[in-house]
Chain A
Amino acid sequence: MTTNLTTSKADKIDRLAELTARRETASGGSLWVEALRRLRSSKMALIGGGVMAVFIVLAVIGPWIAPHDPTAQLWRDEVRVNQSIFVGPRGDNWLGLDHLGRDQLSRMLVGARQTLLVGVVATLLGFVVGVLIGGLSGAALAFGGKAGRRVDTVLMRVIDMALALPSLLLAVSIAAVLGQSLTTVMIAVGVVQIPIFARLLRGSMLAQASADYVLAARALGVRRRRIVLGHVLPNSLGPVIVQTTLALATAIIEAAALSYLGLGNPDAAQPEWGVMLAQAQRFFDQAPMMAVYPALGIIITALGFTLLGEAMREALDPKLRS
């Protein structure tokens, strides 16, 4: 009886010691690890990531699994636009035909790749140039003294000018100079993203630069270059990475709008959802489904990227951490 009691007490004491010790290690864990953990448990991130994965797989294998040649007008004589005769879904063509008698499903599958390409290239352009400008501006303002402040002022004036124009209009003016092509759409949509990335990184860097650890590093005589590249920049990238995901969604939608305005890729051999949607609008009242397929493709994909971006934003938000 007494032995029993003492062993159970010893257990309890062990547990007590364990509890006291564990406290030391349980807290801690870096911001990114924590964010990743929160991201994994987020339903929004799961759906967004799922949609994104499906989209990327389709973009990669689309051309191989397409049942027909997406550019050949195989059923040209079955479609009569001026008599309002369109062909809907049927055994051979699961999503029906477009206005030129081409297989819609094949065009959708092949188009996924072009759509992804436009989004990725445009976002990459915006990201790289935006991060360069924003990083330079932020570093100059925070660590460059008087001259740095001047550099920042000039850069930000330019960025603010670009922000004063509606993005669509900016894209249209760029497209006007470059002419009508897929590259034009990529550049136009990408340029529109530059000021957003730049502003975001600059703001985030300024917030980091006033943090105590930067002050401490400066007091210790760490070189400015090292502080910026080793500490401030890596710690400021969170919101920029979130923006990248959201920008992919915007890029796909903006590209569709440019196509609608007749500035998209004129090459019929390269089906792209934005161009497909723009072309289908003309027949919207007779054959709405022709527009609905590419529209759904764009909406679902953009939604996937947006959900993932929002989930990432939430995961990284220190206010929501508890």
Chain B
Amino acid sequence: MSLLSVDELTVTFTGRGTRDVNAVSGVSFSVDEGQVVGLVGESGCGKSVTSLALMGLLPKRGVRVGGRALFRTKGGGSTDLLTLGRSALRDLRGPQLAMIFQDPLSSLNPVVPIGVQVTEILARHRGMRGKAARDQAAHLLERVGIPDPTRRLREYPHQLSGGMRQRALIAMAVACAPRLLIADEPTTALDVTIQAQILELLKELVDDQGTALLMITHDLGVVAGLCDDVNVLYAGKVVEAAGRRPLFAAPAHPYAHGLLGSIPRLDSPRGEPLNPIRGSINDTIAWGDGCAFAPRCDFYTLACLEGAPALADLPGAEPAAHLVRCVNPVLNEAPGAGDADDAGADTESDTTKEASA
């Protein structure tokens, strides 16, 4: 069994007086130790809601969560994160599960020194106090690459640069060596050069500690450089799930195909038009009526309106290696004029653009 296996996760927002909104409708995936799994999609596809649901950080009221998220405990048994009681969840967050957020400035408390924000987690889960906690905090800051850590501990978030703040947030997240780390767009708010450094740091942490990393992003460059497995989300459902290489080599779902095709390439001829996916995530139909992507799809057929397609093996692929939710998948064709092999080979975060239109 994997460290975390999410099974048919659904999240529904039930506002008073308004129609229920299915933010996540039946998402399944799993993450194992030392593995980096990507959840990819444009904003509004449900990826952040998925991460918050796993952490138990969604508001209690107006939200209905269904499905299972089994987390293997240290003893070898498993516990469902979605039904866990509040205090049990609090014990898990920090030493077992931790999360890194998107906007480092707003995610840090502006009126509490960095040091306190790091030591409070050590005090809570490790019982460390006073000098021991401060030393450990300084050590953590040093490990995530913050110079002069003892001075930084006394400073406030507004005194740090954007990259430093994200490093500080990562230091807090890894303070108790969690077994699963969820990173929700950890580099979106940062400069491109800093992005690469932060990704490098996350990679090191995974390699050194065998931490499982769930990487939530819309940036295909991040996926290409970091993830072992990739799940592409659209309108609350996984539309394609595969290893990094097969996905980049032959994206089968028209959405994933479009995402990769919309990346401008340095070697494309000058003046060649960009190749975006038309419409926006608002142009959708309910999954019950057919494929939610159909209104934006270049390949849709009438069959696309016969209820939600199932997530099934891609014809020709090994069983369970490459799943796609499409009745008319794109076969054996690399997106754009792309060369399959080098597309996924290295970090290209500086040449990629936000995939969504």
Contacts and interface: CB of A to CB of B under 8 A. Distances in A.
Interface in B247-306: 279-280, 282-283, 285, 289-290, 294-295, 302, 305
Interface in B3-47: none
B295 A19 contact: yes
Interface string A1-27: 000000001001100100110010000
A16 B302 contact: no
B279 A16 contact: no
Given A12-B289, A16-B294, A16-B295, A23 B283 contact: yes
B282 A13 contact: no
B283 A20 contact: yes
Contact of A20 (B290, B295, B302, B305): B295
Nearest to B282: A23
Contacts of A23: 280, 282-283
B305 A16 contact: yes
A23 B295 CA distance: 12
Contacts of A20: 279, 283, 295
A307 B16 CA distance: 22
B324 to A, nearest CB: 22
B305 A19 contact: no
A24 to B, nearest CB: 10
A293 to B, nearest CB: 39
Contacts, number: 20
Interface in A114-149: none
Contacts of A13: 302, 305
B283 A12 contact: no
Nearest to B294: A16
Nearest to A17: B295
Range class of the B interface residue count:
10 to 19
A6 to B, nearest CB: 8
Contacts of A16: 285, 294-295, 305
A19 B285 contact: yes
Contacts of A19: 283, 285, 295
Nearest to B296: A20
Nearest to A12: B305
Contact of A12 (B279, B280, B290): B290
Given A16-B294, A16-B295, A20-B295, A9 B285 contact: no
Contacts of B294: 16
A282 to B, nearest CB: 50
A13 B305 CA distance: 8
A222 B217 CA distance: 42
Nearest to A27: B282
Contacts of A9: 302, 305
Nearest to B280: A23
Interface in A19-44: 19-20, 23
Nearest to B17: A41
Contacts of B285: 16, 19
A70 B133 CA distance: 78
A43 to B, nearest CB: 12
A23 B290 CA distance: 18
A12 B288 CA distance: 13
B26 to A, nearest CB: 22
A23 B283 CA distance: 7
A318 to B, nearest CB: 18
A19 B290 CA distance: 13
A13 B79 CA distance: 45
B356 to A, nearest CB: 15
Nearest to B302: A9
A20 B282 CA distance: 9
A12 B304 CA distance: 11
Contacts of B302: 9, 13
A16 B302 CA distance: 11
Contacts of B282: 23
Nearest to A16: B295
Nearest to A26: B282
Contacts of B290: 12
Contacts of A12: 289-290, 305
Interface of A: 9, 12-13, 16, 19-20, 23
7 contacts: A12-B290, A13-B305, A16-B285, A19-B295, A20-B279, A23-B282, A23-B283
- Nearest 3 CB-CB pairings of A with B: A12-B305, A20-B295, A9-B302
Interface of B: 279-280, 282-283, 285, 289-290, 294-295, 302, 305
Given A16-B295, A20-B295, A23-B283, 15 more contacts: A9-B302, A9-B305, A12-B289, A12-B290, A12-B305, A13-B305, A16-B285, A16-B294, A16-B305, A19-B283, A19-B285, A19-B295, A20-B279, A20-B283, A23-B282
